[in-house]
Amino acid sequence: MMSIFQKKIIFNLLAKLGIVLFFLEFYRILLLLTNSRSFPTFGFYEHLIGIWFDVITVALYYLPFIALNLLPLPKIAEKIRSIVLLIVFSLTSFLVYLFNAMDVAYFSYVNKRTSFDYLVYMLSNDETSNLAGDFILEFWWLLSFFILSFIATIYLFRKLKTIEVDLKSKTNYFNLLIVLALTVLIGRGGFQLKPVGILESTNYCSLENSPAVLNSAFTIIKTFDYEGVEKKEYFSESELNSLFNPVQTTRPQHFLNDSTNVVFVLFESYGSMYVGPNNPESYTPYLDSILTQSMYFDNAIANCRTSMDAVPTVVSSIPTWMNESFILSSYSSNQFQSIPSILKEKGYSSAFYHGCTNGSMRFDAFAAAAGFDKYFGKTEYNNDKHFDGNWGIWDHHFLPWTLDRMDEAKKPFFSLIFTISSHHPYSIPAEFNDKVKKNPKDPICGTLSYADLAFKAFWEKAQTKKWFNNTLFIFCADHVGPTKCNDRVSLNHSYRIPIAFYHSSGKLPQIPENTGFQQIDILPTLLDLLNIKTKFYAIGTSYFNPKKQPKIVYSQENLICFRPGKTPLTWNDRIQKKWNKEDQFVIQQMKAIYQHYTNDLIDNQMLP
């Protein structure tokens, strides 16, 4: 068939695109080297699959370049063609390389590829500019490689001179049509009904290796016009609600007095790999001492991987089981319930405390939508002497300060406090530098130790408050933090977090070991503990609900069910497998929960 083509033109084009494929594979190798602990089984076969996804990416991004390269033009226009081709190729390569360079660094912190919505968020928020200097210092070598790879690409491109495409040759028109058709075919990944997407990577490799098989330019373009979730019709309405119904009724437990205050402390990056009383390597001994006196779940999981996704998950029992953050999606304008909106009907006041710059991760906007009465951030704290230089106010200043605001709040109150200091760039205040426990292998450990000292100051002051003995405290991590240790990258380590409920009366029940629990279960469990009588909407279920539901996370368009003492169960629409009876029932539950989740988001049916 090649004899039909103008070989010289085609080989010239393939050589130019081959430069890009070479560097895309090089960026994959950098990702693997930088995050080797996350991909212990990534081998030659996975590299081949990765190259196939790179070929698809090149077809998608370079289609205009390919068309312009083969378009027959009069000789007078050839010089203009050369200039335009250089500009188009340079701009496209710059973006493709930039997306992948960013993810070499970004992946270390969230263990997933960047989506378009998150890219826009990163480019438009204040923290990006605040942290740019730290990232450049930490990843100077990556910036250097990005610059060198881009320069090398343009240098090699210019060495491959643009070949004239004769306007009068019929073969050149044939070249153009056939190559464009092949490019479109490759760009959609083949002849199948739907173009290849993010999910297809798990058809060829394990879920753990999927992010490295993909590349960031691919995931960004695949989520560029993301229109949200698709409606699911696995079950009829009666079948669906028999398996799971998000409209639930509370089961008051009467352990505590009515109108008990609530203080919810959401800890940044507190993964169970470094936190908890059952962990001999814990860096949070003070918090651990409180957890041992609590209704503590030692096998709890986070339903998310980022701070932005954690807040609606814990506040509204709405997880992010889609390719964009709920807060950034169009669904954030839905009518939905939350802890503060439900408690407001029972006379509670509410406040959201977050020491970051106001507007960070759009938490202030979400707090308003969720029904919080007040939002307290860096602006309200109003003392830049306590600014950490990156994110916001140091925890050891901000946490005790929130208690004085609670003194002023109308009782009963609900307060959510989100810590910030155990986050990249892992800074520690100078006066705490000699007090914290550090781990030379993992920089996050020192900041976990510092945050624990800040929590100690908070807790000791809280115990002096008149309202302390009439207050239920909730402790939970937003997600698992990054680690540089190869032995802590399994799925179980990647999502396990501490979750606990504490009351000074000691009346809360002790939780049996290996009891499953998740962030979206917090809202319904809290309502039961507060003796609230109401109907509510939640994707999670109360610990006190006898009908137990799967504990689920979302990754690369897969749903993963965690079961204490058993291997996680992975499911997606395209998995064809014979399950045993127990697993089949769990799959049915997962499908029912996901059908409600998707359809209720689309139909704006998230109220009881």
pLDDT digits (tens, 9 = 90+) for 373-426: 999 999 999 999 999 988 899 999 999 999 999 999 999 999 999 999 998 888
What is the mean predicted confidence (pLDDT) over 463-484?
A: 94
Of 326, 332, 381, give the one whose Cα is nearest residue 353. Answer: 381
Question: What sign results for the dihedral spanned by CA atoms 386, 389, 391, 396?
Answer: negative
Banded pLDDT at 131 (limits 50, 70, 90)? low
Query: Is it the case that residue 26 has pLDDT exceeding 90?
Result: yes
User: Residue 1: its pLDDT value, please?
Assistant: 41
Helix (H) or strand (E) holding 474, with range, is: strand 471-477
User: Residue 323: its pLDDT value, please?
Assistant: 86
Query: Is it the case that residue 470 has pLDDT exceeding 80?
Result: yes
Residue 51, classed as helix, strand or coil, is helix
Of 427, 461, 397, give the one whose Cα is nearest residue 436. Answer: 427
User: Residue 109: its pLDDT value, please?
Assistant: 72
pLDDT digits (tens, 9 = 90+) for 48-92: 999 999 999 999 999 999 999 988 888 888 889 899 999 999 999
Percentage of residues in the chain having pLDDT higher than 70: 96
Helix (H) or strand (E) holding 555, with range, is: strand 551-555
Which residues, 6+ apart, have CB-to-CB distance to 523 below 8 Å? 314, 315, 316, 317, 338, 339, 342, 536, 538, 540
Quick check: 473 and 414 in contact, CB under 8 A? no
Q: How high is the mean pLDDT of the chain? A: 91
CA 202 to chain centre: 18
Banded pLDDT at 434 (limits 50, 70, 90)? very high
3-state helix, strand, coil in the chain (%, to 5): 50, 10, 40
Domains, in order of start, for the chain? 7-222 (no CATH), 237-603 (3.40.720.10)
Among 42-46, 142-146, 247-251, 599-603, which range has the highest average pLDDT?
A: 247-251
User: Residue 127: its pLDDT value, please?
Assistant: 64
Name the least confident of 40-44, 263-267, 429-433, 496-500: 40-44
- CA–CA distance, 462 with 406 (Å, rounded to integer): 10
- Of residues 189 and 556, which shows the higher confidence score? 189
pLDDT digits (tens, 9 = 90+) for 300-354: 999 999 999 999 999 999 999 998 889 888 788 789 999 999 999 999 999 999 9
Residue 403, φ and ψ in degrees, nearest 5: -65, -35
Residue 169: CB atoms within 10 A of its CB come to: 12
Say whether pTM exceeds 0.95.
no
Query: Is it the case that residue 20 has pLDDT exceeding 90?
Result: yes
Query: Is it the case that residue 2 has pLDDT exceeding 50?
Result: no
Which residues, 6+ apart, have CB-to-CB distance to 417 below 8 Å? 263, 264, 265, 266, 353, 354, 399, 402
User: Residue 3: its pLDDT value, please?
Assistant: 45
Query: Is it the case that residue 107 has pLDDT exceeding 90?
Result: no
User: Residue 41: its pLDDT value, please?
Assistant: 86
Query: Is it the case that residue 249 has pLDDT exceeding 90?
Result: yes
Residue 468, φ and ψ in degrees, nearest 5: -60, -45
Strand order across the beta sheet in which 569-571 lies? 551-555, 558-562, 569-571
Query: Is it the case that residue 487 has pLDDT exceeding 70?
Result: no
Query: Is it the case that residue 110 has pLDDT exceeding 60?
Result: yes
Name the least confident of 14-23, 133-142, 310-319, 514-523: 133-142
- Of residues 321 and 226, which shows the higher confidence score? 321
User: Residue 130: its pLDDT value, please?
Assistant: 66
pLDDT digits (tens, 9 = 90+) for 171-194: 888 888 999 999 999 999 988 777
Query: Is it the case that residue 4 has pLDDT exceeding 50?
Result: no
